[in-house]
Each structure stands twice: as structure tokens, then as C-alpha cells.
Amino acid sequence: MTRIEVTVDGSKVTDDVEPRMLLVQYLRETLGKTGTVVGCDTSNCGACTVHLDGRSVKSCNVLAVQASGHEVTTIEGLAATGGHADGQLHPVQEAFRECHGLQCGFCTPGMIMQAVDLLNENPSPTEEDVRLGMEGNLCRCTGYHNIVKSVLHAAGGAR
Amino acid sequence: MTATQERPDTAAAKEIGRDRRRKEDQRLITGRSRWTDNITLPGMLHLAMVRSPFAHATITGIDVTEAQAAPNVVAVLTGKDLGESQGACINAWAITTDQVTPAHVPMPSDRVAFAGETVAVVVARSAAAARDAAELVDVEYDELPAALDLKEAAAADAEHGVLAHPDLGTNRSALWTFDSAEAGTGGDADQAIARARAEGIVIEREYRQQRLIPAFMEPRSTVVDPTGEQITMWSATQIPHILRFALAASTGVPESKIRVIAPDVGGGFGGKLQQTPEEMITFAVARRLGKPVKYTETRSESLMTAHHGRDQWQRLTLAAEKDGTVTGLKVELIADLGAYVSLIGGGVPVLGAFMYNAIYKFPAYHFSCQTVLTNKTWTDAYRGAGRPEATYAIERLMDELAAEVGVDPFVVREKNWITKEEFPFTTVAGLEYDTGDYESATREAKDRFGYDELRAEQRRRREAGDRVQLGIGVSTFTEMCGLAPSRVLGSLNYGAGGWEHASVRMLATGTVEVTTGASAHGQGHETAFSQIVADRLGVAFEDVEILHGDTSIASKGLDTYGSRSLVVGGEALVRAADKVIEKAKPIAAHLLEASVDDIEFSAGRFGVRGTDQGLAMAEIAMAAFAAHNLPDGIEPSLDSDATYDPVNFNYPHGTHLCAMEVDTETGGVLMRKYTCVDDVGTVINPMIVEGQVHGGLAQGIAQALWEEAVYDDSGTLVSGSFVDYLLPTSADTISFDVSHRSTASTTNTLGTKGVGEAGTIASTPAVVNAVVDAIRHLGIDDIQMPCTPERVWRAIHDVAGGGGTDTEGAAAPHFDASTGMQGTVDRTDGADR
Ligand code: FES
Ligand code: FES
């Protein structure tokens, strides 16, 4: 067991974890942050995407111990840690709802976290930028049409 | 065939037709969702499956000692241990009375019939401990020869070849036929073909429907809690009600003692329309140990063992006159069932049987399908289920016929399709199409697409001998959806009905609680159904709560598949709501001191004819609740329910157009434009409808271009992860030009048609027709799906006599600026891509 100290969605937490425990398992199983989900076992789907110190990572591809001393933001803390008032949505969350960028919603937490990172890096992306930037996140429901639209919509709002 | 309630009063229709943002979204975009795998119960144990690495083998011994001794392991159980308590996986649809159906024990103890089949289960205090220990279970197998190739398996018998289940003596499960001459719905197809051979045109083709994997994004997960009076199962399923029935029927546990809950479910596409071995094993383990247990599959397990779809060979013969008028159609299928006959299994190609004639007036039709057992993962419904296969075949054939006659693909379609004036129309397959307007949908699609301009560009590029050629693909599809009239299902020997149930409860405070037996998993029922009820009862959209997916809450239902929720479930909703209005009328009359005959209901208000007196629905609800002042003999309740059995299927249609660019040197294909105009009847929520079409298109396009489940010679699935099974990404797809028309269906009150499967059914042939069209002038008339660069390159080089084997070049990401979104790639010059 290894002692870790992580800031997750703004709160400091301390736990003893097995060295092999993945960050996504730590979030879901230890902390009950079930908003972040697991869609594959080969780091292909992006459903588990969270932010580590503000940059998107696939949390199935990071060990919990690697997150020690760092800040993790999940879909559950996105709005609050972004300085949005209680009950308010992050603009990207709002854009996904506005543009029907989700159906079953399973890929959505990962999509939103990835989109936020993409827009932080490139606030005015083209459709091509969005399509290439979201390539690591799979969705089986939407055909991506409205996901791309959502991200462009959020970018428009931010400008 | 019409069976409808009064049409909605359009003045009151404030919600229907409106782009309401979805009620579901708030929880899903904030991570407050309730996936099955999120559930944790006190003392809950975790399961891991030990799976066969062999496609076909006898189990000669299982040693669990080491696994049993591993840390935190509670039990290791084999098929012998669970015995009859595991029940059985049911086949609900024996398509013929003599169908050969192998017994399907969830965890067999003697022989495995496909790679991935479960042979033992480890129960431990954590999922990680269970998985670790599963590695320690030592299973000894005697490998048996495996029946893998579909055609070889179909030809095998007890003496020659390999049998998937040697004890059955055959791989042939059932032969299902339809003959229009016999059925009295048309002439003799063989005669038509013979005539055409003498003096017309005969098109003969063989198409492959490759095996696909539904690949819903949420892996399957099941939690069973046996500690209450009822055993509760949460499962990532499309079919909580059918599952409950199957659990009871196959284990002997009384149905009343079982509660099944499908909480938020992350996609299904038919792939979660199953009673799975994993659910049965989890149920049995929980009962045996008396403890809550959870099983969540890995993605690799999901791809390997959740049922697959398609997998057919289609032999097709189309007869026509010299001018392209069709005279007959003969379809001979073999369909791969995999190792077992699944829940609907053999019925999937039968659902397609009624659709090969599509929108065309074939005077003669013959269909046969041989279902075949192999040692591969079982197959069952995947989005469209039988109808995509049929549509692919006929829409490819119509293009081939056009090429043979030497005319534009639309010329043969227009010559043969049912015209607007001819509806209702009884087809050669015996179905009555209620409405349709193929002309208008086509006109509109061609305009939006810029059909004539693209044809001109195609000509120019062909004449210039460009390296990158342009192809245009057409698909004018229809489908039968809204499964299904129970009597029809009965005549096809299906094990259940096709009705749907809804209940409407007026709460005292004026809000409305609605239950539906249609169990959503991404389709937006909570939103669309709220819109319907809000309009019908004249209450606010926000005041309607839709409950579903729990057999204790929505106690009756037949769940969600076959584009049925709106057309069947929506009609049940309308009828239940109308009963509420009828129950409220005498109360309103009593309170208003008027005669019931003078009470009129409109926009949520019960008024007295000719006066301005009236009461709102909420006021009647409160009066019914208080029950202080009700007329004699009237019960203090406005609650109502309705079970609706459809009288006909439902027939959406549309015209889909696709432009593909094909690099004749690399074989690479790029989609340039996709336009579709679908007639989906009355639209409740246009935003949701378009979303359904987008997602459907991506899945259909993926069959045409990328996806294929591939097995190696030993029966191992080699496309067993997302590294190898190519789901399209955002970089592979383009923005689609999607629009709809609304010819109201006459089969239900609201005039709706199904839309869930339309995009998938229509798009596959549109794409392949476009690819073939781009290189037809080189002498090519087919590319087997998926149309990978290698296959396209080989086709080009085979006809050119070039030969060669080295190919590469995956399709590059590409974007389309023409759909109104920002795009940057210049699509007209593909020469240096
Ligand atoms: S679960 Fe992390 S990429 Fe799929
Ligand atoms: S919305 Fe279902 S997987 Fe993306």
C-alpha cells in the first residue's frame, strides 16, 4: 500500500492504495466519483477522461499513485472548480445539452472533459481541429455530428 | 388498417414538434448518472468469469484449489456446482417448427462451443481479487475441430465436415421460406427469372453481410441483490421486462419474486436485447450465496461474448424487362447463428424477409434463409436487425440494374417504386404500406445534395482521367418498424407479443407521473414522452415525469427495440392519457354542475359548452384526491393505463445520397457529402430525431467502410479490442446533411413513424453504391464490405490485370465544408492526399 494525497474536485483526500490501482478505479471505487466511467481496457475510448493539473488524461492510463500531489478534476467538479456558481453548468456542459451532443450519455463525461481541454488550448477551433482533437474519444450514439457542433458552439460562446 | 384515437387538436399542440432540450441531460452532463456498475451494496461480492480460449473443446477437468485459496476469494463455482440453478438461455423465436436448437446452459460443464464461453466463475471481495484469482483456475480441455466458416458449416453433415454441436448431427438449424405464389401475394419468381433469361435482364449477385459487433459504449454489468423479499437485478439491458420473464421461466423462481431494473443504460443498438449467460450466472451465484453480487465485463469480454450481428451470405437474383421494369426477385440466404440460437437469433433474417422488395412493385418474390450453427459468438439483433441486410441487397441490385440498362440509378427506381397515389399498397411480401411519398423525399434530397452538379463533376473527372474519382450512391429505403402486431408475431411463431403498456397517474398537486414499458437507453424517451403527455393533458412539460426501466414501477412492458417505443409505446401513452380525460369529465361536470355531455376538454381545461365556466386538470386532480365531493359511483382516482397492440407495422422511408471519392492509386476512400431526407411521420422532437439519424448513419457507414468482426483459423476473435475493431472516430466521419419530411402515418394516433434504425438501414448501400459508382467505369461492379483501401485497390488492380499484393493507406480524416460547419480540407482536389 502506498499513501497518496490528491486534490479531487477541489477537496484534498488521502488514502492508502495498492500501487497498481488505476486513477479511474480510485475515483470510482474509493471516492465514489462514479461520474467518470470505464469503457474499454486498451485506453482507446476516452470515457474515463479527467483533468490532471488542468490537462486531459485518460484516467485508466494513469496510476492513482501518479496523481499524488496533483489536482484532479472530474466531470462532477468541472463546473465548481471552473469558478461557476453552485448549480451552474460549465459552458461546455451547457453546449452539449443545447446541441444534443449526447444520447445515452456514457461517453459524455469524457467528451466534455476532452472538449474543455481542447478549447483551453485552442479557443477558436475549426471543425477539423475539433474532429482531430476529439479523435481519442469514442461515441457510439451520436455519429459525432452533434458533439462537434457542441464543441464549436461552446467555442463560439467563449469568443 | 387504421386504429387511432382522435387526432390531437393542433391548437393545443404546444409541445409536439418542438426542439425541447432533453430532460435526461442534466444528470448525464454532470456525472450524476446511474450506470449499473456504479451500484455498490453493503457486503457486495464481485464476479470474474473464467472463459474458454478454445472455440470448441471438451472440458476434461477444472482445478479450482489455487484460485479458491487466493486472497479475498469467497467461492469458485463451475457449471457442475451451479447445475440447474443457472436456468437456461432461451430462444424465444423458433422460426420453424422443426428448428434445431442446441440447449444453452449459461455455464456448461462438459463442452464449450465458442471462444469466450464461461466455464467457471470466481467470487471475491473485490473485482480485482476476482480477476486475479480467475487466472489461477486451471481448466483442462480436449480441443475439438471447430466449425467456423459459414459456407462450410452450412454444407457439413454428420459424415463430412465439422459440426458445431456433434450431438445434433447437423449445423443446419432452420430453413425458412416465403413464396409469393404460395402466399397468394404475387407470381412465381422462378418463372419470372426464366422469362427474363430468355428476353429480359437477369442480375445475379452474391453479397456478404460481414459480422459486426454492436459495441455499445457501456460494457454490460449486472448486480443482483437476493436479500429482500424479491430478488432484485440491476442490469445494463434494453429489456428489463423480457429479462424478468426469462429469469422466471428458466429458473423456476416465481416471476412475482423477481424485480429487474435497467437504470441508466449506455447504449444498446440491439446488443443489449438479450438474456445473457452472464446475467443468469450472476443471478444464480447471488441466490446461492445469499449475498449481493456484481459482474461487470471488460471491453475485451464484451467484444468477444456479447452477441454479434449480421453475418450472412446473400445470393440474389433479380429479373427485369429490358427497360428496367422489375419482374421478379429471388433471395437465398445463409445466416450464421454462432454457437447458440439466441433470444431472437434465427428471427433476424426473417424480419428482413419482408423488406427485400422494399419500395418496388415486384410481381413475384421468393425468399429462403438457412440458419447455421458455428463455433463462434452467437448473433442476434443489431440496429436494423434483418432490414439493413435486405435494404443493402435490393439497393445494390437496383444500382446494378441501372448500370445494366445504362441509365441513372433513379430512372429504374422511379420506374418501379410505389407512387404516392398507390397507397395504401399491399406488397408482394404481404405487408400493407400505409403511406409514403418517395417522389417528394427524392426531389428534396436531390436538390439539397446538388445531384446534377455532382453528376456533372463526376463526368468531368472521369473524362479527365483523374486519379481520384467521384462516385454517387443512392439508397431509397423503407423499413418496417414498430414491432409488432402480436397476431403477426404469433403467426411467425415468435414466443411473445408486440404490445406496449403505459400508465398515467394524475398527482394531487397537478403534476403527472407516467410509466412506460419502453425502456430507454439513450433515445430520449423522458423528453419526447413528456411532450406527448403535456399536449394531450394540457399540462406543462416540466410537470410530467416519465418513469421506466423498473419492473416494479413500470410493471408491464415489452421494452425498446425495433423502432417501437414511439409508435407502439407512444400510442399506449396517448390512450392512457385519453382515459384520464374521460375519467375526469364526470367529476368536472359534477363540480361545474353541468351535464357530462356539455363538458369539453381543450388545452388542459374542462369547460362547459357555451359558457366561460371551466376547471383545470389540476383542479380536478385535487378534487379526485380529496374525494370530498365526487359524483356517486365515481372512484377517487384519475389514474389510468393502456396496453396497446399495434394493428400494423409502420413504414418510414427516405432518400439517402452519398458522394465518395476513391483514390484509384491507393484504394483510399473518402466521404465527401452525405444528404438524407427521411419521412418519419409526425415528429415529436426534431432535435432528437436528427440525433437518431446521425447516430444511425455513422453505424451504417461504419459497416460499409470499417467494421468487421474477424476470427482466425482456430476460432479466436482477432478483432477483440478497440485497437482492432474499428469504430469510427470523430476524425473518420463528416457532418451530415439530415432533414425530414412528415407524411403522417395512419397506423397510430399521432401519425408517427419509427426512426431509431432508419439511418443505419439506409446508409450502408448508399456508401457502397457510391464507392462502386466511382470506379464502375474501370469494370468494377462490387466491393465486399467493409470497403477498405486494400479491397478497393485489389479490385482496381484485378481488373487492370496489375495484380500485386502490397497495399496500405487507411482512410485519412476528412471534413466537409459544405454542410454549414467550419471545415478546412479542400475536397475537390484529392490528388495529393
Ligand atoms: S476507459 Fe480509459 S480510454 Fe477507455
Ligand atoms: S452518447 Fe452514447 S456513447 Fe456517446
Residue in B24, B217, B690 nearest the CB of A45: B217
In short, whether A46's Cβ falls inside 6 Å of ligand 1 is: yes
In short, whether A107's Cβ falls inside 6 Å of ligand 2 is: yes
Q: Which residues pair with B550 in a beta bridge?
A: B261
Answer yes or no: are the C-beta atoms of B717 and B52 closer than 8 Å: no
Residues B535, B667: one domain?
A: no
Percentage of residues of chain B with pLDDT beyond 70: 94
| Residue spans of chain A under pLDDT 70 | 157-159
pLDDT of residue B409: 98
Q: Which residues pair with B681 in a beta bridge?
A: B752
pLDDT of residue B9: 54
- Residues B739-768, mean pLDDT to the nearest whole number: 92
Label residue B806 by pLDDT band (50, 70, 90): very low
Residues B694, B784: one domain?
A: yes
Label residue B4 by pLDDT band (50, 70, 90): low
* CA-closest candidate to residue A39, choices B125, B135, B267, B24: B267
B85-128 pLDDT tens trace: 999 999 999 999 999 999 999 999 999 999 999 999 999 999 99
The count of domains in chain B is 2
Mutation site for B-interface testing, chosen from A18, A61, A104, A118 by largest number of B Cβ within 10 Å? A104
Q: Which of B597, B623, B644 is the last residue of a domain?
A: B644
Residue B254 has pLDDT above 50, yes or no: yes
In short, whether A110's Cβ falls inside 6 Å of ligand 1 is: no
Residue B794 domain-assigned (yes or no): yes
Q: Which CATH number is B640's domain given?
A: 3.30.365.10
Domain formed by A2-77, architecture: Roll (3.10)
Residue in B32, B727, B731 nearest the CB of A140: B727
pLDDT of residue B814: 43
Mean pLDDT of chain B: 93
pLDDT of residue B801: 65
For the CA of B218, the nearest ligand = 2
| Class for the domain spanning A80-154 | mainly alpha
> Does residue B649 or residue B769 have the better pLDDT?
B769
Residues B563, B635: one domain?
A: yes
Label residue B802 by pLDDT band (50, 70, 90): very low
Label residue B142 by pLDDT band (50, 70, 90): very high
Residue B284 domain-assigned (yes or no): no
In the DSSP assignment, the letter for residue A76 is T
Q: Which of B588, B610, B644 is the last residue of a domain?
A: B644
Q: Which three cell numbers stand for residue B503?
A: 400508465
B343-363 pLDDT tens trace: 998 899 999 999 999 999 999
For ligand 1, the distance from its centroid to the CA atom of residue A39, given in whole angstroms, is 5
Q: Which of B625, B644, B663 is the last residue of a domain?
A: B644
Residue B812 has pLDDT above 50, yes or no: no
pLDDT of residue B564: 87
> Which residue's C-alpha cell is 489461477?
B136
Residue B820 domain-assigned (yes or no): no
Q: Which three cell numbers stand for residue B592?
A: 361545474
> Which residue's C-alpha cell is 424485480?
B259
Residue B830 has pLDDT above 90, yes or no: no
Where do the DSSP E strands lie in chain A? 2-8, 11-17, 49-52, 55-58, 71-73
Residue B809 has pLDDT above 60, yes or no: no
Residue B200 domain-assigned (yes or no): no
For the CA of B216, the nearest ligand = 2
Q: Across the A/B interface, how many CB contacts are shorter than 8 Å?
A: 201
Cα–Cα distance list, B341 to B43, B272, B637, B652, B706 (Å): 36, 16, 46, 30, 27
Label residue B8 by pLDDT band (50, 70, 90): low
Residues B477, B509: one domain?
A: no
The minimum CA-CA distance between A126 and chain B, rounded to whole Å, is 6
Q: Mark yes or no for CB contact A102/B521 under 8 Å.
A: no
Residues B464, B598: one domain?
A: no
Residues B639, B779: one domain?
A: no
Amino acid in the structure at residue B312: Q
For the CA of A138, the nearest ligand = 2
Residue in A41, A96, A142 nearest the CB of B695: A142
Residue B575 domain-assigned (yes or no): yes
Answer yes or no: are the C-beta atoms of B435 and B744 closer than 8 Å: yes
CA B307 to chain centre: 13
Whole-number Å distance between alpha carbons of B695 and B524: 13
**CB distance from B198 to chain A under 8 Å?**
no
- Beta carbons within 8 Å of B521's beta carbon, 6+ residues apart: A104, B216, B238, B262, B264, B265, B266, B267, B268, B272, B560
| Run of H or E including B329 | strand B326-338
Domain residue limits, chain A = 2-77, 80-154
Q: Would you tell me which residues 682-701 of chain B have a C-beta closer than 8 angstroms to some C-beta of chain A?
A: 687-688, 690-692, 694-699
- Residues B711-716, mean pLDDT to the nearest whole number: 97
The minimum CA-CA distance between A95 and chain B, rounded to whole Å, is 10
- Residues B258-266, mean pLDDT to the nearest whole number: 97
Residue B464 domain-assigned (yes or no): yes
Q: Which residues pair with B335 in a beta bridge?
A: B312, B371
Q: Which three cell numbers stand for residue A53?
A: 493539473
B149-173 pLDDT tens trace: 999 999 999 899 999 999 999 999 9
3-state secondary structure of B590: helix
Amino acid in the structure at residue B691: G
- Beta carbons within 8 Å of B806's beta carbon, 6+ residues apart: none
pLDDT of residue B823: 31
- Residues B639-663, mean pLDDT to the nearest whole number: 95
Whole-number Å distance between alpha carbons of B647 and B651: 13
pLDDT of residue B816: 40
- Residues B480-507, mean pLDDT to the nearest whole number: 90
Residue B810 has pLDDT above 80, yes or no: no
Residue B825 has pLDDT above 60, yes or no: no
B37-90 pLDDT tens trace: 999 999 999 999 999 999 999 999 999 999 999 999 999 999 999 999 999 999
Q: Mark yes or no for CB contact B813/A135 under 8 Å.
A: yes
Residue B624 has pLDDT above 60, yes or no: yes
Which residue segment(s) compose the domain that B12 sits in?
A: 3-33+499-644
Closest alpha carbon within chain A to B813: A132
Atom number, ligand 1, closest to the C-alpha of residue A38: 1
Residue B604 domain-assigned (yes or no): yes
Whole-number Å distance between alpha carbons of B754 and B37: 31
Half-sphere exposure of B247 (CA within 13 A, CB side): 31
Label residue B726 by pLDDT band (50, 70, 90): very high
Report helix angle B570-592 to B617-626, nearest 10: 70
pLDDT of residue A91: 96
Q: Mark yes or no for CB contact A41/B300 under 8 Å.
A: yes
Whole-number Å distance between alpha carbons of B357 and B368: 14
